[in-house]
Amino acid sequence: MSDYQVFLNGEFVPEDEAKISVFDHGFLYGDGCFEGIRAYEGNVFKLDEHLDRFYTSAKALDLTPPYEQAEMKDLVLEACRVNELEDAYIRPIYSRGVGDLGLDPRKCDEVTTVIIAREFPRLYGPELYEEGLSIATVSTRRNPPECLSPNIKSMNYLNNILGKIEANQLGVDEGLMLDTKGFVSEATADNFFIVDDGEVVTPPYHNSLRGITRQSAMDVAEREGLPVTEKPITQFDVYAADEAFMTGTAAEIAPIVEVDGREIGDGNPGEITKQLMDAFEKVTRTEGTPIYPKETVEA
């Protein structure tokens, strides 16, 4: 076992001592929220954007965080420092806390706070970033906002996990989820884009998670002079597209070359996709909140 230090309820403890009660409602009911954040070469990428979403998820769950957002920002950076990380995957979690066996959140006195920071490679194998992924539409539909908003990044991922299980059973690299109306929503842990006649298109975010990498990819595309549109897309639009890719903190930008047995474009990662992958990589290496401010390094 590695010896990462995990922040748990006010202190950093060795990871094998970072234990949660079986009566924690995060465990019993998936009642809580989390973020997945990355650091590149000593800088945490889009930290404020991730923390804004984290605190909005908590608010939507009517969960009062024990730390102000600015304190949480310091703790995330500290979690990287105590683990001496430059490149990291960081996961802050707030769960409802320890209660009894009833689901009423009023039974829980204290929100559980966890921050895990560790090294973590890109979500898919390196060859898939060269050759592109084969994906398939799964039958599990993405939770509609009228039942459970996909924009709450909650500790209950069963909707996406059922989609991922189907994708695994189909023997493809990832599952594409539709919304309840049959429009494309997103992949199980990534947002979805197509490129059509030079235009970069992604579905509106109401039926999917408003991904931070999704926004970065849109910003990068605009800076590269490409038209970017948010509009509903169908499976037909996907099959007819010139290119397709996915975006996510864990996956970064990942090219897609096959959907439901249909080749996308010529079956190779598209030129615009590759351009965006390169431009995104540059952005991740030049922006971000420093983990080790200069004064500390020089002192």
Active site residues: 153
Which has the closest alpha carbon to 9: 80, 109, 119? 109
Map the footprint of ligand PXG across residues 71-110, applying CB under 6 A: none
Map the footprint of ligand PXG across residues 172-191, applying CB under 6 A: 186, 189-191
Q: Closest distance between ligand PXG and the C-beta of residue 160, in Å?
A: 5
In degrees and rounded to multiples of 5, residue 28 shows phi and psi of -70, -35
Which has the closest alpha carbon to 206: 237, 230, 182? 230
- Binding map of ligand PXG across residues 22-61, x = CB under 6 A, - = no contact: --------------x-------------------------
Residue 125's CB: how many other CB atoms inside 10 A? 12
Asked if 145 touches ligand PXG (CB under 6 A), the answer is no
Instruction: Please choose, out of 57-65, 66-74, 168-176, 208-216, the segment that lies near ligand PXG by the rule CB under 6 A.
Output: 208-216
Nearer to ligand PXG, 140 or 160 (CB): 160
Q: How far is CA 253 from CA 122, 223, 267, in A?
A: 10, 16, 17
CA dihedral 257, 204, 208, 270 (to 10 degrees): 10
Asked if 211 touches ligand PXG (CB under 6 A), the answer is yes
- What string of DSSP letters covers 23-91? TBHHHHH--EEE--EEEETTEETTHHHHHHHHHHHHHHTT---SS-HHHHHHHHHHHHHHTT-SSEEEE
- By CB under 6 A, the count of residues binding ligand PXG is 15
Asked if 207 touches ligand PXG (CB under 6 A), the answer is no
Map the footprint of ligand PXG across residues 221-260, applying CB under 6 A: 247-250
From 73, 96, 164, 214, residue interacting with ligand PXG (rule: CB under 6 A): 214
Nearer to ligand PXG, 36 or 145 (CB): 36
What residue number has its CB nearest to ligand PXG? 36
Nearer to ligand PXG, 179 or 186 (CB): 186
Asked if 154 touches ligand PXG (CB under 6 A), the answer is no
Angle, to 10 degrees, between the axis of helix 212-223 and the axis of helix 47-60?
Answer: 140
Q: Closest distance between ligand PXG and the C-beta of residue 34, in Å?
A: 9
Cα radius of gyration (the chain): 20
Tokens 């990871």, located at residue: 15
Asked if 140 touches ligand PXG (CB under 6 A), the answer is no
Residues contributing to the site for ligand PXG (CB under 6 A): 36, 160, 186, 189-191, 209, 211-214, 247-250
